[in-house]
Amino acid sequence: MELRDRVLYHQIHPVKLLTDGVTAAAATALLWRHWLTSALVVGFLPSILVTLALLRWADLEPYQHSAFGRYVGRFMTRRVEGARFAGLAVLWGGAWLRRPMLIALSVAWIAACWLWGIRAPARQISRYDRDP
C-alpha cells in the first residue's frame, strides 16, 4: 500500500476515529473556558501521534477493502478533508466565543462532510484523480 493510500485509510481506523472524536470534544470544552494552550495540545497532539503510529505500524489493508473503506476511497477527496478541518476550526471558534448554535452547526457540517458521498451515485475515483 502506498503512503498516499495509507494516509487516506488510516482516517477510518477505529483508534483514529475515537482519538479524533474524543480530543475534538475535549478541546472544545477547554476552549469554552479559554484555555487555549491546553486545548491546542489536547486537540492536536494525540491525533498526530496516533496518525504517525498508524501510518508506520498498522495493517490498513482490511480497512481499504471494507465497505467503509470503499466509500472513503470513492468520496474522501482532499477538498472534503479540508472542509472537515474547516468545520473543526469553526467548532473551536464557536467554543471560544461560547456560541452553542455555532458549535451545533459545525458538528452538523463535519458529519455532512463524512456523508458527502451519499449525495451522488457511486463512482470510483482513483488515487490519481484525487485533489493534489
**What is the pLDDT at residue 118?**
86
**What is the pLDDT at residue 120?**
62
Q: CA separation (Å) from 59 to 5, 10, 13, 44, 53?
A: 12, 9, 10, 23, 11
Q: Measuring CA to CA, which residue among 5, 112, 128 is closest to residue 13?
A: 5
Q: CA separation (Å) from 58 to 12, 97, 106?
A: 12, 38, 30
Are the C-beta atoms of residues 32 and 98 closer than 8 Å to each other?
A: yes
Q: What is the mean pLDDT of each run of 10 residues along the chain (132 residues)?
A: 95 98 98 98 98 98 96 93 97 98 98 87 52 50
Write down the pTM of the prediction: 0.88
CA Rg value for the chain: 16
